[in-house]
Structure 1
Amino acid sequence: MLDLNEIMFEGRFRLFLLGAFIFIGILAAIDILADIQEGTESAHIVIEGIVFAISIFGALVISLRLLNEAKQSRQLVKVMAQELQKNREEATEWRNETQALLQGLGASINNQFERWNLTPSEKEIALFLLKGLSHKEVAYFRGVSEATARQQARSIYKKANLSGRHDLAAFFLEELALPHNE
């Protein structure tokens, strides 16, 4: 795949060549007219005519190639815009589906916390632990000492009849494995 800078360089180079061929063609045409007025040999005029024809042909070839590439670029931009729109729609749909699932998961987690009779502080700590925060991080976010965060975590594990943070996470996440292909 070409780099954008390479593509831009190639485009500028082709425009330079187009300009050079047109410039050479104009100079050749002016020289041919001057040579005809001066009565220069026809062999010299034919050679300059060939130079003129080559320069015009070169300009035409480059122009056609530039037009073709511009057309292809417009088509590519159109396709990419359609794909981008499709991806945005899929992302919005995915976000909506996920949001509903996360709200359901959040409600289920809260219901389980209620069954364990966790206090509001313990619920908050349990959520932090489920998110993977350390006791030190929990203490920081709650504005308490690390020892207090550890003690509250132990209280959660005791009320839930779990052995620790890994069992707490496993309790909620064990069933979230990806489905197996049958």
Structure 2
Amino acid sequence: MRFATPHALIFLVIIQAVCAAFFAADLIADFKETADMTTTHWHLYIESIATLSLVGSIMFETRVLMDLLRRKAHLEASVSVATSAMHDVIESHFDRWRLTLSERDVATFLVKGFGIAEIAALRGNAEGTIKSHLNAIYRKSGTHNRAELLSLIIDGLMVRGRIENNQTAA
């Protein structure tokens, strides 16, 4: 089962807490009723263990949920940093290659994986115009096709990652 937000899980924990409170109140009432009796009531002991187990499970669930929410926030922040770094590397390549605004736009769509027809439709251009931009991009970047261009950009990302790792290690 997958939840889009933690609200559903929080709601379930609250329901469980209400149930645990009900069972605890019932257990206390049962103990008061049988306090003056001298016989052993195994049913009450089993009910006590079940209620305490439910309370322990709720505490454990809450702890796990909080840990998961913290981890999710950390991962989202990491993705944001990585996205920003990737954008910076791509933009630095575009600057170094001196791409025009139209070429940058086409190159960005190319990096995102769009085909020539899709780029043309998104930009409202003819496919021939997009091919012309692609030829200029390949010429300026020193590549011959999409695979070489993407390889060059990925190499730039890897080099930047190694440089940043070396700087943080020092």
Q: Do they superpose with TM above 0.5?
A: yes
CA deviation after TM superposition for structure 1 residue 109, in Å: 1.4
Determine the C-alpha separation between the residues in 2 that align with 1:144 and 1:62.
78
SS of 2:120's equivalent in the other structure is: helix
Larger Rg: 1
Query: Which deviations, in whole Å up to 9, do the C-alpha atoms of 1:23-75 show, x marking residues without a partner?
Result: xxxxxxxxxxxxxxxxxxxxxxxxxxxxxxxxxx9xx6556544433332332
TM-score (norm 1): 0.57
Alpha carbons of structure 1 residues 143 and 67: separation in structure 2 relative to 1, 3 Å: farther
Aligned-pair identity in percent equals: 21
Q: Determine whether 1:103 maps to 2:109.
A: no
Letter in structure 2 aligned against 1:114: D
SS of 1:118's equivalent in the other structure is: coil
Q: Determine whether 1:153 maps to 2:134.
A: yes
Which segment is superposed worse, 155-164 or 143-152? 143-152
Determine the C-alpha separation between the residues in 1 that align with 2:43 and 2:60.
26
CA deviation after TM superposition for structure 1 residue 85, in Å: 1.2
Letter in structure 1 aligned against 2:53: Q
Determine the C-alpha separation between the residues in 2 that align with 1:134 and 1:73.
56
The match for 2:109 among 128, 131, 141 is: 128
SS of 2:80's equivalent in the other structure is: helix
SS of 2:114's equivalent in the other structure is: coil
Determine the C-alpha separation between the residues in 2 that align with 1:85 and 1:104.
29
Q: How many residues align structurally?
A: 122
Letter in structure 2 aligned against 1:156: I
| Unaligned stretches of 5+ residues in structure 2 | 1-39, 163-170
The match for 1:170 among 145, 151, 160 is: 151
Give the RMSD, CA atoms, in angstroms. 2.7
CA deviation after TM superposition for structure 1 residue 79, in Å: 1.2
Alpha carbons of structure 1 residues 162 and 71: separation in structure 2 relative to 1, 3 Å: same
Determine the C-alpha separation between the residues in 1 that align with 2:117 and 2:47.
63
CA deviation after TM superposition for structure 1 residue 113, in Å: 0.4
Alpha carbons of structure 1 residues 66 and 124: separation in structure 2 relative to 1, 3 Å: farther
Query: Which deviations, in whole Å up to 9, do the C-alpha atoms of 1:101-147 show, x marking residues without a partner?
Result: 32122122112101111011111111111111111221222122233
TM-score (norm 2): 0.60
